[in-house]
Amino acid sequence: MQKAKVKIKGIAPLLMNRFVMENPDNTKAKRRDEQYSPEDDAEKALYKDEKIGCYAPSTWIEACLRDTAKEFKGKGKSSLKTTILSSVFIEPEKIPLNKKTYDEVDLRPVVIQRNRIVKGRPRFNSWELEFTINFSEDRIRKDTLKQILEEAGATKGIGDYRPKFGRFEVVRFE
């Protein structure tokens, strides 16, 4: 396995929307007279670890690479999607954003069960991520992987509400 040290920098703000896994026994139906708090909403949707602060899951980068690799031709008629799935891995699992909290709460209307409501999500206006890509050089060339990552950053993005949000540029790929 080869390693590539990577640094990406956001060219569009990053939105997070973590799936909240609450115990169904502990959840009570919201009363209509309860005051809505966008900050509470954003806090629940934030990827945060006590040790490293805010982070982006490595699965975001893997999914971004996978979706972009569909557009790159592999052997025969196939794309590089399966190659990315089987021989490209991102470390660490939690990629630090080097921030303790988000820059602002992004409020947008969303439809949940045919009801339009306002949802607050954490928004990072400026952001950078540094991570390592482990890959098999005999399955995919380093320069091809860099091309896929650059295209992914420009057209796909990571996080929520992409590609409007979460787009990035590759600052370092060594």
Which amino acid type is present at position 76? G
> Is the C-alpha dihedral spanning 77, 82, 86, 91 positive or negative?
positive
Q: What is the pLDDT of residues 99-116, one digit of tens each?
A: 999 999 999 998 989 999
Give the start-to-end residue ranges of the domains of the chain.
Answer: 2-17+37-173
pTM summary value? 0.89
Q: Please, which pLDDT band fits residue 38 given cuts at 50, 70 and 90?
A: confident
Question: CB burial class (10 A; 0-12, 13-18, 19+) of residue 96?
Answer: middle
Residue 72 near residue 80 (C-beta atoms within 8 A): yes
Instruction: Determine the CATH number of domain 2-17+37-173.
Output: 3.30.70
- The whole-angstrom separation of Cα 146 and Cα 59 is 18
Side-chain-facing half-sphere of 78: CA atoms under 13 Å: 7
pLDDT at 78 (0 to 100): 86
The residue whose two tokens read 């790929």 is 173
Span 11-27, average pLDDT:
78
